[in-house]
Amino acid sequence: MTCGLNGTFSYHVHEFAINSTGSCESTGGHLDPLGVGKVPGYVCNPITPKKCEAGDLSGKHGLLQGTSYGYLTTKYTDEFISLRGTNNLDNGIIGRSIVIHSHHSHHIAHGVPAPRIACVNIIKGKCWERNLLCNV
């Protein structure tokens, strides 16, 4: 029996929040306000993150590494997305979702989208900043 989330996982900000069905399939595609993912042969290169889909977090920052305890953690600053959107771009993430995908090389090699295994909505809330509670 296998427990937890062993292995590596890709993850992305998706266009929409999870709808009332609760299905990760309802979240649409990756957040991509500039349409870079529509270019034939698109692959995100972490060396040039501004040429990546805004929501391609694993492409820009690396895959998530799961543990047998089920934990997935990472920390970084992404300069190409924001909470509310910037410069008249629709790159704000509040009201959207994060989707974790199974990451298997056979999906990548054959251009097949990796299965969506977990998702969560990004909602407006409160945050901690330098030990001070702030509204987002």
| pLDDT tens per residue across span 21-42 | 999 999 999 999 999 999 998 9
Burial 47-84 (b: 16+ CB within 10 A, else e): eebeebbbbbbbbbbebbebeeeeebeeeeeeebbeee
Q: Whole-model pTM above 0.85?
A: no
| pLDDT tens per residue across span 72-93 | 788 899 998 888 776 666 778 9
Closest by Cα among 127, 34, 22, 25 to 89: 34
Asked if 102 contacts 58 with a C-beta cutoff of 8 angstroms, the reply is no
Enumerate domains of the chain plus CATH numbers: 7-135 (2.60.40.200)
Asked if 122 contacts 96 with a C-beta cutoff of 8 angstroms, the reply is yes
